[in-house]
Structure 1
Amino acid sequence: MHLRFVAAVLLPLLVALSLPVHADEARRERGNGAAAESRRDQAAVAALQQRMSEAEQRYRDAMQAEDEDAAAKATTAALAEMKAVVEACGKQRGCQVEQMLATYERLLQDTPRFDDAATDDGGDPLDERDFTAADVPDSASAAALLSEEGQRFVKMVQFNPAVQAGIRRWLTDLRPQLMDSYENYRYMQHLMSPAFRRYGLPEALLFGILAKESNGKVHAGSRAGAVGPLQFMPATGRRFGLGDDGSGFDTRYDPRAAADAAAQYLQERLAELGNSIELALAGYNGGEGRALRVYQTTGGRSFWDIDVYSQFPAETKDYVPMVIAAAWLYLHPKEYGIHWPKVSVRPTTITLTQPASLYELTICLGNWGSRNGYLRPLRNLNPRWSPDVMLPAGTVLNVTTRIAWLYRFNCTHGKRLELAQQLVASNVQSALVRVGEPTPANGPSAGEATPAPAPVERKPARVRTYQVKRGDTLHGIARKLQCDLDDLAKANKLKKPKYAIKPGQTLKLEGCDA
C-alpha cells in the first residue's frame, strides 16, 4: 500500500519537480551556443579590423617607395584591400561599416592627398567616400548628369541636319579637339559648372561653348581681342565684372569668373530672345544687338528660319550648330562610340618647397597618368602665372591630388628635379661659341701657344663735305653729287621747302654717291 502510494503520488511529483531542472539545463546549453557564436563573430570582426589596420600601414609605407610607379602599385593594392575589408564587413554580423570607413577617412586626413593614383586597369582609384563609385564612369558627374538635364536640353534645341553635320565634324577632323576640350574642362569643371547650375542653364551648353571657343585653353585669345576660356571681349567682360582686378591680372582668364559672366550673359539673351538657345548663341558670337534686331524684325521666328538664318554672318551660322553638336555629344557619348579620356581631377593645392616655374614643374612631374603631361592643367588652374615666371618658395598652386602626388615624388628632390632645373635654365645663347682665325696646316702644334693677333687700328671714317659756292642751291648740289635730297637736308638740318643755304657754308654729304 505504501509503495503503491509512493508510485502513484510521489513519482509524478518528482517528475514535475525535475522538469524545471532540465529546462534550465537546455537554456544554459543554448546560451553557451550563442556565446560561442558571438565569440566567433567578435573574432571575425577583430580579424577584419586587423586587415584594415595592416592595409593602412601598407599605404603609408608605400609613400616611401623610390618612384611613382612603385608607389602607385603599392597604394592601389592597399586601397583594393580596404575595399575588400569594407565589403566583408557589410556581410559580417556585428561589424560596423561606419567604423571601417572612419579608418579610411582618418587615412586621408592624416596623410598628404596622394591617394589619386591610377588603378591597374588605367581607371581612377576608389572614391574616398563611396567604395561603389569605382564602377561609375568619369562621365557620370557630367555627361550623364541627369537624364532630366539631357531631356531639357533636347527640348530647348532643334536637332537638325546642321547639328548632325556639326556632330560629324567633331567626330572626324575635330575629334582631337573634342577630346582635348573634354579633358581640359574636367580639370575646371568644379570651378565652372556651379555658375551654370545656379542660373538654371544646362552644363552641356557650357561645355559646347568652351569646346568651340577655346578647346578649354584658358589663355586662348583671338585677333579681335577676345580672351579666356569663354572668349570675352573687353567691353562685354567689363559689363559682367571681368577685367583688371587691380593687380594687373585680367579676370577674363579666370575660369570661375568667366563661367559666371557667361551664365549671366546667356540668361540675359534668353530672356530677350524668347528663350531660344540658338539665338542666344548667335548673340554670343555675332553680337547681341544684331541678334535682338533680327529677332524683333522677324517676329521672333526660329534661328533656322531662312529669313533669320540669312541675316547672320557665316561665322555665326557655323558657330551655333557646332556648339549644340558638342553639347549633344557631351550628353550622349555612348551613342556615338565616344569614350571620354579618364582624367584624375580631384582638386587640392600644393605649396612650393622651393622656387619653380610652371615649365619646370611640368618637366619634373612627367606625364604619369596623362597623355600630354600637366602644363595645361597647371596653367588652367593657375591662370595668373605665366609658365616661365619663377615662383618663390611658399607659393600655393591649385592642382589635382595626382599632381600633388607626383610633385612629392619628383619635384622636391632627386634627379628628375635636377634635370628639370637644368633644362629650364638652358638657352640658345649659351650653346654658341666664337671661332677664331683658322690655323694653317703647317702652323703651330696643339701644344704651342698661338700668339694673339695684334689689334687692328681702325681709322675713323672721314666725313665728306662740300663748300657752298655762289649760285648753288641744295637741289643743284644733290643732282651734281648724286645725293638723296631728304638725307642731305636732314644731315644739315635744312627745312623744307626753301632749304636755305649761303656761299661758304660747309655741308655734310650724307646720302651721296659721288
Structure 2
Amino acid sequence: MFRSILAVAVLAILSGNAAALSRRDQTSIDALTQRMQDAESKYRDAMVKIGNADPAGQAQSDTALEDMEDVIANCMKQKGCSVPTMLSTYKRLLKLNADAEADASDEEAEDGDDHASPLTADVPEAARAAKLLADDHRFDKMVQFNPAVQAGIRRWLTDMRGPLVNSYENYQYMRHLMWPQYQRAGLPEALLFGIMAKESNGKVHSTSRAGAAGPMQFMYGTGRRFGLGDDGTGFDTRYDPRAAAEASASYLNERMGQLNRSIELALAAYNGGEGRALRVYQGSGGRSFWEADVYNQFPSETQDYVPMVIAAAWLFLHPNEYGLTFPKVDAKPAPLRLAQPSSIYQLTICLGNRGEREGYMRALRNLNPRYQAESWLSAGTTINATTKIVGLYNRWCTSGPRAELARTLVLSNPNNAIVRTGPVTTVGMNEASGAAETEGEPALATLPPRPAKKEKPKAAKPRDHRVERGETLIAIARKFQCDIDDLAKDNKIKAPRYAIRPGQRLKLKGCATD
C-alpha cells in the first residue's frame, strides 16, 4: 500500500502544478489537506487498536491508507495542490512503519540489546515501544539479580525450558485480556508473565491440591476479597484470565504498599501468606528478603518461588542474551460463531495443528474458560477465538470429510466395541434339515443340550454414582444415558461448567442405569 502511494506521488511531483490559485482552488486544497490529516489520525488510531489486539484495527488501517492514496490522486488533479506537502504524512508513517519493522527483527538485534523482547515482533507495538522499554528497565532495578535468580534461570533454560515456552505461547493468546490489567495498575508485564509461568504455565483451568485455582492460582478466600468467585451462573471467575489478572495486580499493589514496594516480599506474600510476610517485614525493620534472618523465616516452597518468578520475568525481558527464542504466535482475537453444534474437543480435531505444534485446544480453553472441553455448544453460539482459528474453522470444520471425522471421533463410545455372544452349539446335518444321512457321509457331532438356566433376578438399578477421578458430568450422563440438564438439576450442579469433584455422590434419577 505504501509503495502504491509513493508511485502515485512521484508521478504527481514530476507533473508539476500551476501557481495561480482561485478561491475555489484554495478551498479544494484545504479540504484535501484536512482529509489527509484525518486519514493520518485514523491510521495512528488503528495502530493502537492493533497493538491492543482489536480485530477492527487492521481493516481501519487499510481504509486509512486507501484514503491517503485517494487524496494524493486528487491532489494531482487539483490546480495548485502541493503533492510534496501531502506526501509528508506518508513519509512520517513510512518512518514509523520502518522503525517498527527494525524493532521486530530478532535476528538483526545487536548483542548488547538485552531488552529485545519477542513482543516487539508485533509492528503496532512501536507506538508504545518507548514506554514498554522504560517499564522493562524499571523492573530490572526493582529486583535483585543474584545467584538464586541465576539458579532459577538455569532451571528454566534446562529441564523447565518446555514449560517456559508453553507458558509464553499460552500467554500470547490471553495477553490482550491480562496485560491491560497490570498496565493500568502500573506493574511491569514481565512480573505478570513470571507469576503466571510459575503458578499455572498459562493454563486457566489449573487447580492445585490445596484449592488454588486459575491462571494466577488464587485461593478461594483471597479471591473473594478481590472480586473473584461464583458470578451467579455457577462459573468461578478465578478461572477467567481477565478477572484473575486484575485481582492479581490489585493484590500485588496492596502488598507492595505494605512492604516498601519490594517485589520479592510481595511475591513471598503471594506464595507464603500475606500475614507471615508482613510480620517478617515488620520484625526485621524492613530489611531485604535476601537477608538470612528474613529469608529463613519463609518456608522452603516460598524460598524457591520468589527467585523462580523473577527468573521467568527476567527471561521474558532478556531472551536474546540467553539464546532463548520464543515462538511467534498469531493471536489476534476474533469471535467464532458456530455453524453447527460442536465441542472444544471436536473443534480441536477438525482445526488440525497448522502453525501450532500442539494444536488449538489450549488456546480455545484459555479463551473460553466457562466451557469444559467436552461440553456441547449449540449452533449459533459465539466463542472467543483468533482470526487464524476462525479461518481454519471455516475451511475445515463446517463441512467435508474432516468435519465429519471429527464429529465421529468425538461421539464414539468405547462400550460399543465390546461384542457379546451367546453359547455356541454344533448341529448334525440330518438334525438340522430333517433328512437322512447320505451313505458314507457321517453326521456332524451334536453336543447334548444344555440344561436350562435359571434366570437370575435383574439387579436393582443403582440409585447413585460415586464420581471417580477424571470423570466429567457429561461422561457420566453418557455412560448412564441420562439427560445432562436433568442430571445437573437433580444434583444442584450449575451449567455450563458442570463442576464435580472426585468422591461426590450423584443421584441417577431418570437414568437408564440397568
With structure 1 as the length reference, what TM-score do the two structures score? 0.64
Change beyond 3 A, Cα 1:199–1:91? farther
Q: How far, CA to CA, are the matches of 1:331 and 1:404 in structure 2?
A: 31
1:409 pairs with one of 386, 390, 395: 395
Give the partner amino acid of 1:388: E
CA contact (8 A) 1:362 1:373 kept: yes
Determine whether 1:211 maps to 2:197.
Answer: yes
Q: CA deviation at 1:457?
A: 2.0
Secondary structure, aligned partner of 2:306? helix
Q: How far, CA to CA, are the matches of 2:339 and 2:8 in structure 1?
A: 41
Q: How far, CA to CA, are the matches of 1:443 and 1:237 in structure 2?
A: 77
1:337 pairs with one of 319, 323, 326: 323
Secondary structure, aligned partner of 2:181? helix
Please list the CA deviations of residues 437-476 of structure 1 after superposition, one character each: whole Å capped at 9, or x if unmatched: 3456x8779x99x99977512589xxxxxxxxxxxxxxxx
| Between 146-155 and 157-166, the greater mean CA deviation after superposition | 146-155
Q: CA deviation at 1:246?
A: 0.2
Change beyond 3 A, Cα 1:459–1:276? closer
Q: CA deviation at 1:250?
A: 0.2
Q: How far, CA to CA, are the matches of 2:280 and 2:321 in structure 1?
A: 35
Q: How far, CA to CA, are the matches of 1:211 and 1:368 in structure 2?
A: 25
Q: How far, CA to CA, are the matches of 1:444 and 1:177 in structure 2?
A: 69
Q: Residue in 2 aligned with 1:62?
A: none
Q: Residue in 2 aligned with 1:350?
A: 336
Q: Residue in 1 aligned with 2:305?
A: 319
Q: How far, CA to CA, are the matches of 1:439 and 1:184 in structure 2?
A: 61
Change beyond 3 A, Cα 1:455–1:355? farther
1:271 pairs with one of 251, 257, 276: 257
Determine whether 1:139 maps to 2:116.
Answer: no
Determine whether 1:456 maps to 2:453.
Answer: yes
Q: Residue in 2 aligned with 1:233?
A: 219
Give the partner amino acid of 1:457: K
Q: CA deviation at 1:413?
A: 1.1
Change beyond 3 A, Cα 1:432–1:459? closer
Please list the CA deviations of residues 386-441 of structure 1 after superposition, one character each: whole Å capped at 9, or x if unmatched: 0101101111111110001111101111111101000000021011111333456x
Please list the CA deviations of residues 140-160 of structure 1 after superposition, one character each: whole Å capped at 9, or x if unmatched: 168977321121001100000
Determine whether 1:375 maps to 2:361.
Answer: yes
Secondary structure, aligned partner of 1:230? coil
Q: Residue in 2 aligned with 1:172?
A: 158
Change beyond 3 A, Cα 1:443–1:324? farther
1:250 pairs with one of 233, 236, 239: 236
Q: CA deviation at 1:105?
A: 3.6
Q: Residue in 1 aligned with 2:407?
A: 421
Determine whether 1:395 maps to 2:381.
Answer: yes
Q: Residue in 1 aligned with 2:268?
A: 282
Secondary structure, aligned partner of 2:375? coil
Give the partner amino acid of 1:372: E
Q: Residue in 1 aligned with 2:182?
A: 196
Q: Residue in 2 aligned with 1:184?
A: 170
1:304 pairs with one of 265, 290, 295: 290
Determine whether 1:364 maps to 2:361.
Answer: no
CA contact (8 A) 1:139 1:340 kept: no
Secondary structure, aligned partner of 1:348? strand
Please list the CA deviations of residues 90-126 of structure 1 after superposition, one character each: whole Å capped at 9, or x if unmatched: 6554699969x89x847979xxxxxxxxxxxxxxxxx
Q: How far, CA to CA, are the matches of 1:394 and 1:436 in structure 2?
A: 47
Q: How far, CA to CA, are the matches of 1:415 and 1:83 in structure 2?
A: 42
Q: Residue in 2 aligned with 1:119?
A: none
Determine whether 1:434 maps to 2:420.
Answer: yes
Secondary structure, aligned partner of 1:182? helix
Q: CA deviation at 1:134?
A: 5.8
* 1:23-172 aligned within 5 A: 85=4, 88-89=7-8, 93=12, 105=59, 132=98, 136=104, 138-140=118-120, 146-172=132-158
Q: Mind listing any 5+ residue stretches in structure 2 that lack a counterpart?
A: 15-31, 47-57, 64-95, 106-117, 434-445, 458-514
Q: How far, CA to CA, are the matches of 1:453 and 1:406 in structure 2?
A: 61
Change beyond 3 A, Cα 1:343–1:453? farther
Change beyond 3 A, Cα 1:345–1:91? farther
CA contact (8 A) 1:209 1:230 kept: yes
Q: Mind listing any 5+ residue stretches in structure 1 that lack a counterpart?
A: 1-81, 110-129, 461-514
Change beyond 3 A, Cα 1:227–1:91? farther
Secondary structure, aligned partner of 1:312? coil
Secondary structure, aligned partner of 2:223? helix
Identity %: 59
Give the partner amino acid of 1:309: Y
Change beyond 3 A, Cα 1:295–1:86? same
Q: CA deviation at 1:248?
A: 0.2
CA contact (8 A) 1:359 1:375 kept: yes
Q: How far, CA to CA, are the matches of 1:258 and 1:93 in structure 2?
A: 55
Secondary structure, aligned partner of 2:383? strand
Q: Residue in 2 aligned with 1:32?
A: none
Q: Residue in 1 aligned with 2:481?
A: none
Secondary structure, aligned partner of 1:146? helix
Structure with greater Cα Rg: 1
Q: Residue in 2 aligned with 1:79?
A: none
Root-mean-square deviation (CA, aligned residues, Å) is: 3.3
| Between 411-420 and 231-240, the greater mean CA deviation after superposition | 411-420
Change beyond 3 A, Cα 1:457–1:242? same
Give the partner amino acid of 1:139: L
Q: How far, CA to CA, are the matches of 1:91 and 1:146 in structure 2?
A: 37
Q: How far, CA to CA, are the matches of 1:377 and 1:431 in structure 2?
A: 32
